């Protein structure tokens, strides 16, 4: 069974030639970067017109690397039955080609009662799908492990970190983790910037407890905060001391509505 394209024509174009040209334009605008140690990126998941260029900053950072597998961790916005939903597919379809799912890892994860395959959650969720064209454009032959993080909290983020280290084992240094998340929603541009830069500072400093406590107190916002906590905890496990913020932007810079914006950031995690 393949996962069919659900959000092409809404969040990004469904025309293959146009989609390839748009992605190529993003990458042609940026310089080539040598980042062999990069193991994790945070990317937004809004419509490409709003956040495509920001997302491309993270992907551009790793475009010259070789990975054995890519783990996508995206938030579930509507379904919260199990902590994690794993895409139990053969391939993930995109308008420009199909990405193969790493069946061996998916099968291993589904043996754990905290992991299930929730097809309704998957079919109704855009946050993972919008990452796929970027991945196919750069890494068409790399196998994918698609995970929706449904019950987001710090404890589950640590559990996910431990479980993925267990099942990936010796291939950890050949794995890219793509964390899908937008930041604050529907504040003024100035308020959003204040909230989001505070969140980004905590992320880049790997202040996991402060970040989660601030989420709980609603002092910052990130719809994919569970995945962000996962990559922060993994970075700390690997002895990394900080991440790098590549770009912050928001929707008001596109639609000129600065009263109700959504924040976007591109952040990378690399071994020193």
How far is it, in rounded angstroms, from Cα 241 to Cα 221? 23
pLDDT at 119: 86
Statement: residue 160 has pLDDT above 80: yes
pLDDT at 208: 98
Alpha-carbon distances of 174 from 69, 168, 183, rounded to whole Å:
7, 10, 28
Residues in a beta bridge with 151? none
What is the value of pTM for the model shown? Answer: 0.97
pLDDT at 54: 98
Statement: residue 272 has pLDDT above 80: no
The C-alpha angle with vertex 182 and arms to 13 and 64, in degrees rounded to 5, equals: 65
pLDDT at 118: 87
Name the superfamily (CATH) of residues 41-270.
LigB-like (3.40.830.10)
Q: Which residue has the tokens 């913020």?
A: 245
DSSP category for residue 197: H
Statement: residue 183 has pLDDT above 80: yes
Half-sphere exposure (CA, 13 Å, Cβ side) for 118? 23
pLDDT tens per residue across span 132-152: 999 999 999 999 999 999 999
Q: Which residue has the tokens 């993003």?
A: 26
How far is it, in rounded angstroms, from Cα 86 to Cα 105? 10
pLDDT tens per residue across span 248-269: 999 999 999 999 999 999 999 9
Tokens of 81: 């039955």
Number of H helices, E strands in the chain: 10, 12
**Higher pLDDT pick, 240 / 80:** 240
Statement: residue 197 has pLDDT above 80: yes
Range list of H helices, the chain: 16-28, 48-62, 103-109, 119-123, 132-138, 154-168, 189-204, 208-216, 225-237, 252-255
Beta strand pairing call for 175-180 and 38-43: parallel
pLDDT at 178: 98
Using alpha carbons, select from 138, 146, 156, 175 the residue that is nearest to residue 271: 175
pLDDT tens per residue across span 65-95: 999 999 999 999 887 788 999 999 999 999 9
So where are the chain's domains?
41-270
Greatest CA separation for the chain: 48
CA distance between the termini of the chain: 40
Statement: residue 158 has pLDDT above 90: yes
Alpha-carbon distances of 261 from 59, 91, 183, 187, 257, rounded to whole Å:
23, 34, 10, 6, 7
How far is it, in rounded angstroms, from Cα 48 to Cα 45? 8
Beta strand pairing call for 261-270 and 38-43: antiparallel
pLDDT tens per residue across span 121-135: 888 999 999 999 999
């Amino acid at each position: 069974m393949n996962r069919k394209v659900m959000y092409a024509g809404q969040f990004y174009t469904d025309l293959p030639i146009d989609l390839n040209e748009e992605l190529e334009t993003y990458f042609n605008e940026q310089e080539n970067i040598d980042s062999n140690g990069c193991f994790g990126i945070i990317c937004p998941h809004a419509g490409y017109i709003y956040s495509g260029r920001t997302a491309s900053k993270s992907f551009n950072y790793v475009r010259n690397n070789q990975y054995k597998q890519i783990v996508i961790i995206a938030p579930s916005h509507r379904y919260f039955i199990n902590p994690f939903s794993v895409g139990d597919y053969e391939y993930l379809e995109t308008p420009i080609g199909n990405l193969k799912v790493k069946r061996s890892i998916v099968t291993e994860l589904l043996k754990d009662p905290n992991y299930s395959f929730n097809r309704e959650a998957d079919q109704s969720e855009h946050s993972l799908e919008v990452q796929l064209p970027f991945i196919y454009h750069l890494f068409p032959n790399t196998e994918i492990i698609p995970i929706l993080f449904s019950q987001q909290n710090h404890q589950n983020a640590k559990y996910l970190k431990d479980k993925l280290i267990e099942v990936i084992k010796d291939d950890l240094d050949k794995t890219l983790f793509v964390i899908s998340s937008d930041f604050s929603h529907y504040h003024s541009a100035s308020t959003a910037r204040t909230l989001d830069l505070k969140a980004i500072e905590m992320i880049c400093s790997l202040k996991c407890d402060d970040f989660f406590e601030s989420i709980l107190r609603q002092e910052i916002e990130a719809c994919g905060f569970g995945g962000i906590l996962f990559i922060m905890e993994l970075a700390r496990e690997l002895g990394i001391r900080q991440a790098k913020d590549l770009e912050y932007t928001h929707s008001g810079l596109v639609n000129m509505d600065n009263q109700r914006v959504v924040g976007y950031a591109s952040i990378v995690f690399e071994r020193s």
